[in-house]
C-alpha cells in the first residue's frame, strides 16, 4: 500500500478528498491530513508518505519555497498540487520543481483520479526490479532544480535578516526544511556553511557602513547583528584580512 498525506487550509477539501476518492482502488491509504504548512511538514517528516496532495497557496506560506523544500528533502515523494491560483508561470515553476500534477480548484474527480493513477504507476515503476534509466535521470534533474531553488531562497532570507539574531533553524523554518537538510544543501551548492555565509554577509554590510566616519565601529557591529564587539572584531579580521579600523583608514 502507498501512503498519502493531504494538506489544505480548507477542511472541507481535505475531508472531501479523504472520503470521496477510492484510495484502495489505487493501493493507497491516507496516513494523515493537515490544515497548514507547518503541521503538514511535521506530518510528512513523521510518516514519510509516498504521495502528497497539497495546496501551496495557504495564508502566510511561500508556496513554491514550501514545495521546493518538500521535494528536496523527500525526493521520492510524488506531489500533486491543488490550488485556486491561476498563473501559468507559477504552474511552470512548480512543474520544474518536480510536481506530478498541477490541478486548479475546484478539481474534477477524473482529474484527481488521473493524477493518482499517474503517481501510483510511477511508484510501481520506481519499485520494479528493472526500470528505465531515463526515470532516475529525470528525478535527479528535479532534485537539482528544487535544491538550487531552495538555496537561492535561503540566501535571500539571510540577505534580508542578517542584522537580526539569526540561526540556521530560522532560515530552515522559512524554507520549510529541516536544519540538517538545509545545512547539507548550503554546503553542496555554496561550499560554505551557514555561519560562513552569515558572517560574510555581515562583514560586507560592515564595510559599507565603515565608509561613514560618523559611525563608531562598535555601533556598526551591533547594527549588523554582533552584540559582542570582540566577536565582531575577530570575525571582521578573519574575513577581511585586517581590522575594521584598518579597513576604514584604507578607504
The answer to whether position 222 is within a domain reads yes
What pLDDT, on the 0 to 100 scale, is given for residue 203? Answer: 97
Question: Distance between CA 223 and CA 209 in Å, rounded?
Answer: 9
- Do 15 and 118 belong to one domain? yes
The answer to whether position 161 is within a domain reads no
The answer to whether position 179 is within a domain reads no
Q: List, for residues 74-87, the tens digit of each pLDDT value.
A: 988 999 998 887 77
What pLDDT, on the 0 to 100 scale, is given for residue 65? Answer: 87
- Do 122 and 203 belong to one domain? no
- Provide the terminal-to-terminal Cα distance of the chain, rounded to the nearest Å: 67
Question: What is the tally of structural domains in the chain?
Answer: 2
Residue 194, pLDDT > 60, answer yes
- Do 105 and 18 belong to one domain? yes
**Of the ranges 21-30, 135-144, 187-196, 212-221, which one carries the lowest mean pLDDT score?**
135-144
Average pLDDT, whole number, for the chain? 89
- Do 114 and 9 belong to one domain? yes
Question: Distance between CA 17 and CA 95 in Å, rounded?
Answer: 22
Q: Which of 57, 159, 137 is nearest to 104 (CA)?
A: 57
What pLDDT, on the 0 to 100 scale, is given for residue 105? Answer: 83
| DSSP track, 55-117 | -S--TT--HHHHHHHHHHH-TT-EEEEEES---HHHHHHHHHTT-SEEEESSPPHHHHHHHHH
Q: List, for residues 112-160, the tens digit of each pLDDT value.
A: 999 999 999 999 988 876 555 555 555 666 667 888 889 999 999 999 9
The answer to whether position 171 is within a domain reads no
For the segment 70-97, the average pLDDT, to the nearest whole number, is 84
Q: Which long-range contacts (CB under 8 A, 24 or more apart) does 216-222 make?
A: 217/244, 217/245, 217/248, 220/244
9 pLDDT tier (thresholds 50, 70, 90): confident
Which cell numbers in the block locate residue 232?
565582531
Question: Distance between CA 65 and CA 14 in Å, rounded?
Answer: 22
Which cell numbers in the block locate residue 115?
493524477
Domain span at 23: 2-131
pTM of the predicted model as reported, rounded to 2 decimal places = 0.76
Strands 78-83 and 101-104: parallel
Residue 88, pLDDT > 80, answer no
For the segment 20-40, the average pLDDT, to the nearest whole number, is 91
64 pLDDT tier (thresholds 50, 70, 90): confident
- The last residue of one of the domains, among 93, 110, 131, is 131
What pLDDT, on the 0 to 100 scale, is given for residue 21? Answer: 93
- The last residue of one of the domains, among 79, 111, 131, is 131
What pLDDT, on the 0 to 100 scale, is given for residue 37? Answer: 83
Backbone φ and ψ of 29, nearest 5°: -140, 135
- Do 9 and 104 belong to one domain? yes
Strands 28-34 and 51-54: unpaired
Amino acid at each position: 500500500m502507498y501512503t498519502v498525506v493531504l494538506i489544505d487550509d480548507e477542511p472541507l477539501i481535505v475531508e472531501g478528498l479523504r472520503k470521496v476518492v477510492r484510495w484502495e482502488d489505487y493501493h493507497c491509504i491516507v496516513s494523515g491530513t493537515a490544515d497548514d504548512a507547518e503541521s503538514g511538514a511535521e506530518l510528512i517528516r513523521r510518516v514519510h508518505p509516498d504521495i502528497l496532495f497539497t495546496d501551496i497557496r495557504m495564508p502566510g506560506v511561500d508556496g513554491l519555497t514550501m514545495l521546493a523544500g518538500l521535494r528536496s528533502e523527500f525526493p521520492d515523494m510524488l506531489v500533486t498540487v491543488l490550488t485556486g491560483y491561476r498563473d501559468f508561470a507559477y504552474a511552470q515553476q512548480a512543474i520544474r520543481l518536480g510536481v506530478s500534477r498541477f490541478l486548479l480548484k475546484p478539481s474534477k474527480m477524473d482529474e484527481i483520479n488521473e493524477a493518482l493513477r499517474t503517481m501510483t504507476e510511477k511508484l510501481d515503476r520506481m519499485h520494479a526490479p528493472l526500470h528505465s534509466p531515463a526515470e532516475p535521470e529525470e528525478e535527479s534533474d528535479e532534485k537539482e532544480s528544487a535544491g538550487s531553488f531552495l538555496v537561492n531562497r535561503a540566501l535571500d532570507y539571510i540577505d534580508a535578516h542578517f542584522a537580526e539574531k539569526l540561526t540556521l533553524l530560522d532560515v530552515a523554518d522559512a524554507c520549510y526544511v529541516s536544519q540538517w537538510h538545509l545545512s547539507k544543501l548550503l554546503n553542496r551548492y555554496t561550499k560554505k556553511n551557514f555561519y560562513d555565509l552569515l558572517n560574510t554577509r555581515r562583514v560586507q554590510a560592515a564595510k559599507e557602513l565603515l565608509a561613514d566616519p560618523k559611525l563608531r565601529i562598535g555601533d556598526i557591529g551591533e547594527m549588523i547583528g554582533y552584540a559582542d564587539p570582540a566577536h565582531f572584531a575577530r570575525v571582521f579580521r578573519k574575513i577581511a584580512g585586517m581590522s575594521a579600523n584598518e579597513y576604514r583608514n584604507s578607504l
